[in-house]
Amino acid sequence: RSPSRGLGDVYKRQLIYGGVIVNVIGALYLMAYAIKYMYAFHKANNQPVRTDAMKPEWAKKRIIGFGLMILGGVIAIIGCYI
């Protein structure tokens, strides 16, 4: 019989996996919107007014994506050191 793991090990592993999952979600979110806006910017290349209107919206999506990635990394690092 192998000794049972302590409850702290279980929580630590959950933090690490949870952090990695949040990181991957952020990366996928960022990638999906990057593809969407790349296509939209390419399509509106000859219309600077429309392109300028899309830039703040793209900036918000970028902040959310990078924020999720950073949050996931921080959660995983915390899980490693607890």
The string of pLDDT tens digits covering residues 6-16 is: 767 888 888 88
Specify whether the CB–CB gap between 74 and 23 falls below 8 A.
Answer: no
**Residue 52 has which token pair?**
């300028």
The alpha carbon torsion through 66, 72, 75, 8 (nearest 10 deg) reads 180
What's the chain's average pLDDT?
85
The string of pLDDT tens digits covering residues 4-55 is: 667 678 888 888 899 999 999 999 999 998 888 888 888 877 777 777 888 8
